[in-house]
Structure 1
């Protein structure tokens, strides 16, 4: 299955799961295709996963609902994935997102950084920080882009500190490609994944704890979040997880970090 078909099938499953009705028109408008193409995509999905859909009777052709045996084969069901999938489609419900991107990035500088990520190159940047608000020059080896909180960051090896660091893209005030004169060391914190074992904050009473378990853990005792080791602090900050539950108290912190584990397929909530 190619990437385009997978994306179309994922959309079909998200709409079936969260709206309960898939139409030829909905698929056509979402992907900018003809009615015939839309019918072929739906037919291909139904042939591939025949147990997942059934026609809606008495309401014309091209309308399908999930069966009682519906089980998504492509999509990972989450309300966030659903909202992102339908964000730019014509649906008759209002949706708003309060997340704000405060990162103002010069497109010309970004193109240089993007190219360096693509070819594993080096870039000389002028970077401003709270310690050096006027900016300092340094050569970095860009690796990846990361959105954390309200900012976009560049993950890169810094030749000045000889460390892999995260650079706020909005604080890069100059960028120029340069020849790489030193090899890029391995970024173990980026390449390594860890499991964060999260639990309701121990200061919550029993009723509050049950509320958090039902709301965030689907009733389970806790939840495991897997992320790159380099991104742990961003995840904890975004989820408002207490690392020290004695000093970080509710209501600001309703979760706490029980432990960090090495990532493995056998890791559990134990």
Structure 2
């Protein structure tokens, strides 16, 4: 076996995609590889064969599903096996940023702060992804502050969302009869398919999800003019105001990312830095109960 360090980065990108799709979607096929990298089916099949030579125990071919499935002994060779890799791929759709980590770019020293990875299992993600694509109902056991040990319910998932440092699934909850956000790391066990969606509970009929809102941010008005101007430069406010547009249910998460608590202001304006200019009109979207 050749050293993994000698594999060209574009080939590594293909191997990484194979692992990500197999592990988190439960299936990878030549057509997916060909579409992602603009290569023919025969070339994509060669890529899969080459990968299997390097990791012979990771994949097995399933004739009924016309693709390769992850084996029980699957061990990632080119990825870290973290859900972030798959969910990041969903966001960028047509490109993988991870292959560029292998490029020698001669950049200046940089450092980033690694964040802890949430405990999210592949089996949970596979079921959520499949159900959202096929509009299926899932029976789940979900833990929350009100039910730390878990509580059974049926959901109809429609969108995976990364916000405020963690992954959620937006879904219709049959127990509460409304659309809610469910944190992926709080599912207990593997969701069970209980049939097709009943009624119209997909993303198109999630009225709050389909509503776009504008969040207007300004430097804290308690600060001196010079400090407000400094913050306006920091946050890219050419006219002293920054307007963010997002789906209504994501507005509170956007504020959390910016360190703004919509429920109360910091006593120290330098700690607060920025505030919501249109807080009253956004109250139903941003206030936490």
With the length of structure 1 as denominator, give the TM-score of the two structures: 0.61
Cα distance 1:242–1:106, how it changes in 2: closer, same or farther (>3 A)? closer
Which of 154, 178, 193 matches 1:139? 154
Q: Residues 242 and 255 of structure 1 are in contact (CA less than 8 Å); yes or no, is this contact kept in structure 2?
A: no
Q: Residues 103 and 150 of structure 1 are in contact (CA less than 8 Å); yes or no, is this contact kept in structure 2?
A: no
Cα distance 1:91–1:166, how it changes in 2: closer, same or farther (>3 A)? same
Q: Residues 189 and 230 of structure 1 are in contact (CA less than 8 Å); yes or no, is this contact kept in structure 2?
A: yes
Aligned to 1:178: 194
Q: Residues 202 and 245 of structure 1 are in contact (CA less than 8 Å); yes or no, is this contact kept in structure 2?
A: no
Matches within 5 A, 1:166-205: 166-174=181-189, 175-180=191-196, 182-185=198-201, 186-205=205-224
Cα distance 1:98–1:246, how it changes in 2: closer, same or farther (>3 A)? closer
Q: Which has the higher helix share?
A: 2
2:239 is the counterpart of 1:220: yes
Cα distance 1:86–1:257, how it changes in 2: closer, same or farther (>3 A)? farther
Q: Tell me the CA shift for residue 187 of structure 1.
A: 0.9
Q: Tell me the CA shift for residue 184 of structure 1.
A: 3.5
> CA-atom RMSD, angstroms?
2.6
- Paired residues in the alignment total 184
Whole-Å separation in 1 of the counterparts to 2:126 and 2:106: 38
Q: Residues 210 and 219 of structure 1 are in contact (CA less than 8 Å); yes or no, is this contact kept in structure 2?
A: no
Whole-Å separation in 1 of the counterparts to 2:263 and 2:254: 15
Which of 258, 264, 269 matches 1:250? 269
Secondary structure at 2:270 match in 1: coil
Whole-Å separation in 2 of the counterparts to 1:163 and 1:123: 15
Secondary structure at 2:239 match in 1: coil
> Gaps spanning 5+ residues in structure 2: where?
1-7, 13-96, 283-289
